[in-house]
Structure 1
Amino acid sequence: MSRPPAVARVLERVTATARRYEMFLPGQKVLVSVSGGPDSVCLLYSLHGLRRLLRIDLEVFHLDHRLRRDSGKDGEYVRRLAGRLTLPFHLRICEFEPKDGDSIEAWGRGMRMFYSAEVRRETGAERLAEGHTLDDQAETVLIALIRGGGIDALGGIEPTLGGEVQPLIDVRRSEVEAFCGALRLRPRRDPTNQDTRLLRNAVRLKVLPAIERSVGRDVRATLARTADTIRQDEHFLKRLALEAAEQLVEEQPDGFGIDAVGLLTVPRPIAARVVRDLMYRLEAAPTQESIEAVLDLAAGRPGRRRDLAGGLVASRDSGYVSLSRTSPESRV
């Protein structure tokens, strides 16, 4: 039986994306993260329709973040979908709450990664499939511009990152809705997605439409293509930084030592990346001020010391800039 055009279009796009980014290997078990919303429901049904072509086994994961009184209904809906498709279902209920000042989006993603990693370990799933779309990619680029992110942030959502894959990253949100409509699916609708006090919602519902009205053209695909181009440059710079780090960095008992003279001989953007990556390895969030402070120490005289963001300290001796923690409790 032939598929509705809206369904065939998405399946063709997902197949091309999966092959382009080599998302799956034959025989792999894939854990599909399903919130119950249109994007993740489309993702689940797309991968289910392509499972034989891609030669993958599917299991379904849902996390109840407990952010709404009726959030448990989302889990029951996803459970029914999994049952309809005769797929194993894994439910986790979040045991934590966001702290005051936390970004709800960032906190929610952190919780999904935490609990999905637990389920992946239990099931042996080698991939986690998420439902980010081309529209999400465009929004992410604009958010990075608003927040002042660097080139890595402007590269947007990685189609493949470790074991996480984004099969819908080339699919428009309008195509997701058409897909669900063609199959008579009724995804859950999260009312908080209409709250424009949240930055992503404001960008989605107000900023992007205003830009498109002003210029008289669709900009989402353009922003997504821009992210793709920037991401390729980011990958190249990352390789250069890793190669430089192999020559310049040595591990120390409490952190890392960086060859001060050597750090100054590499291009400054690469030197900054070396420093930034070491801060991440020390589980601190790098800031521009902290990175500049380390580079300043490398260029200056020995004997100086700087306290950095995230509980790090940098000190300059005769040959190295040492980067370490002030104490284990100083992590942020």
Structure 2
Amino acid sequence: MTRAAGGAPGSSRRLPETGAVLEVRRAVRGWLADYAPDAGQGVAVALSGGADSLALTAAAVVEAAAVDALVVDHQLQSGSDKVAAEAAAKALSLGCRSAHVLPVEVGSAGGLEAAARQARYAALDAARGGLPVLLGHTLDDQAETVLLGLARGSGGRSIQGMAAFAEPWGRPLLGVRRAVTRQLCADLGLTPHEDPHNSAPEFTRVRLRHEVLPLLEEVLGGGVAGALARTAEQLRDDGAVLDALADELLHVASAAPVRAGGPSGGDGPHNDGADSDCPTLSIETLATAPAALRRRAIRAWLRAGGAKALTNKHLQAVDELITAWRGQGGVAVGGGAPGSRLVAAREHGRLTLRLHGSR
């Protein structure tokens, strides 16, 4: 469903200058300046009807050239169509150029949370019309994401949190507390929708929100959410530098020849699997690189070669082909094609990634 707004969006829309309104507006204005300075066609906003996305929509209408509201109806609860229609109506009353309700079918792969997320992002991407999509994730959401990543224990990358912009997804409110978005709604007389899933204890993120983070704040004397968010930002900056150095290492390792009779030559049987488009890498070059760069390079190389759902166990096993060679066979990583599997192996001084027929 698409509904056109009657009013003109943009700077003509006025909001009361309360502390909460000004804070959210500054956040949106700063994001637009940093990441979408030429967004003359406007932006899209993912609107659930909750406080965070309502606050974001209200501020975006004032700060952006135009706003199209995208309301995803997951159809998981009775009356979800009415909730979506109400959110669309609020978007138009705030001054959005248009409001689109996007019904989706949620599957079951990976659990309800993951399946709903996949369906939601696919629908938003299909409906955005080339515009960046602003999401209402707050500083509190960022803190929860960092804690979830910490539990996975897969290194600095897993606790970098969410990016302010990962095209086409924008998150202007990562520095804004959830309490501020609720206050903005109160200041504007908006009644946010309270999703029952946001208080359902069977979801890990809900328990983090209502049990773990409050306990950490109490035990550590406050400021935990902000500290986690700052840590994520610092790790993201560090990660960008390490990723660039890892790319350089991959370039050198793929171009390096194998020295005849060298310490890395003659190892491993020749692999008769089908070649992939992934270049082979010099074992010697990788073995002499710092561990942090080598592991990042391996991860990027595997992903470029089609590996899916990489785990720390996969990465460790492939790294041992380089640093702890004992004559072991190749490492099967997620990916490949029907009837085949993707295998990383050590062959004649090179690290290879090939498709093997199923046996």
- How would you bin the TM-score normalised by the shorter chain? 0.7 to 0.9
- The alignment partner of 1:222 has SS state of helix
Q: Is the 8 A contact 1:284 1:312 kept in 2?
A: no
Question: How big is the shift at 1:78?
Answer: 2.1
1:278 partner amino acid: W
Residues 1:147 and 2:169 aligned together:
no
Distance 1:95 1:161 in 2: 25
- Which digits, 9 at most, give the CA deviation of each residue in 1:42-70, with x for residues without a partner? 1111100212xxxx332111221222122
2: distance between equivalents of 1:58 and 1:130? 13
In structure 2, what is the Cα distance between the partners aligned to 1:115 and 1:105? Answer: 16
1:7-26: CA deviation from partner (whole Å, max 9, x where unpaired): 1232123323443x434424
**CA apart distance, 1:255:** 4.2
What is the identity, as a one-letter code, of the residue corresponding to 1:112? R
Distance of 1:63 and 1:324 partners within structure 2: 40
165, 173, 178: which is aligned to 2:178?
A: 173
- Residue matched to 1:226: 231
Distance in 1 (CA, whole Å) between partners of 2:327 and 2:210 is 53
Listed as ranges, the matches of 1:156-235 within 5 Å are 156-235=161-240
Q: Distance in 1 between matches of 2:113 and 2:106?
A: 14
Is it true that 1:73 corresponds to 2:63 in the alignment? Answer: no
The structural deviation recorded for 1:32 is 0.9
Task: Tell me, yes or no, if the aligned pair for 1:259 and 1:319 is still in contact at 8 Å.
Answer: yes
Distance 1:18 1:134, change over 3 A: farther
Q: Distance in 1 between matches of 2:324 and 2:177?
A: 51
Deviates more, 1:64-73 or 1:152-161: 64-73
1:263 is the counterpart of 2:271: no
Are the equivalent residues in 2 in contact too, given 1:32–1:59 (CA < 8 A)? yes
Q: How does 1:1-332 map to 2 (within 5 A)?
A: 3-19=17-33, 21-51=34-64, 56-84=65-93, 85-99=95-109, 102-120=110-128, 123-125=129-131, 127-249=132-254, 253-256=275-278, 257-281=280-304, 282-299=306-323, 305-310=329-334, 311-326=341-356
User: Which one has the largest radius of gyration?
Assistant: 2
The C-alpha deviation readout for 1:241-287, integer Å capped at 9, x for no partner, is 1121222237x942422221111121111111111122323141112
Cα 1:268–1:313 change in 2 (3 A) is same
Matched AA of 1:40: S
Structure 1 distance, partners of 2:119, 2:145, is: 19
Q: How far is 1:209 from its partner?
A: 0.5
> 1:43–1:149: structure 2 CA closer, same or farther, 3 Å change rule?
farther
Does the 8 Å CA contact 2:48/2:71 hold for their aligned counterparts?
A: yes
Inter-CA distance 303–208: structure 2 relative to 1 (3 Å threshold): closer
Shift of 1:184: 0.5
Cα RMSD of the aligned pairs, angstroms, is: 2.4
**Shift in Å, 1:300:** 6.2
CA–CA distance in 2 between the matches of 1:295 and 1:135? Answer: 36
CA distance in 2, matches of 1:179, 1:255: 52
CA gap 1:11/1:301 in 2 versus in 1, 3 angstroms: closer
Q: Is the 8 A contact 2:307 2:342 kept in 1?
A: no
Is the deviation greater in 158-167 or in 286-295?
286-295
Quick check: 1:23–1:160 contact (8 Å CA) kept in 2? no
Task: Give the TM-score, by structure 1 length.
Answer: 0.88
Post-superposition offset of 1:162: 2.1
Superimposed CA distance per residue, residues 299-323 of structure 1 (whole angstroms, 9 cap, x where no aligned partner): 4669753232314312221131111
Distance 2:96 2:328 in 1: 64
The percent identity for this pair of structures is 30
**Aligned AA (1:42):** A
Query: 1:181 and 1:301 mapped to 2: Cα distance?
Result: 63
- The range that moved more, 159-168 or 240-249, is 240-249
Bigger helix share: 1
CA distance in 1, matches of 2:36, 2:155: 26
Question: Which has the larger displacement, 9-18 or 168-177?
Answer: 9-18
Q: Which runs of 4+ in 1 moved over 6 A?
A: 300-303
Seen in structure 2, the aligned counterparts of structure 1 residues 224 and 264 have a Cα distance that, compared at 3 Å, is same
Residue 174 and residue 263 in structure 1: after superposition, are their counterparts in 2 closer, same or farther (change >3 A)?
Answer: same
> SS of 2:35's equivalent?
coil
Unaligned 5+ runs, structure 2: 1-13, 256-273, 335-340
- Change in 2 beyond 3 A, CA 1:273/1:46: same
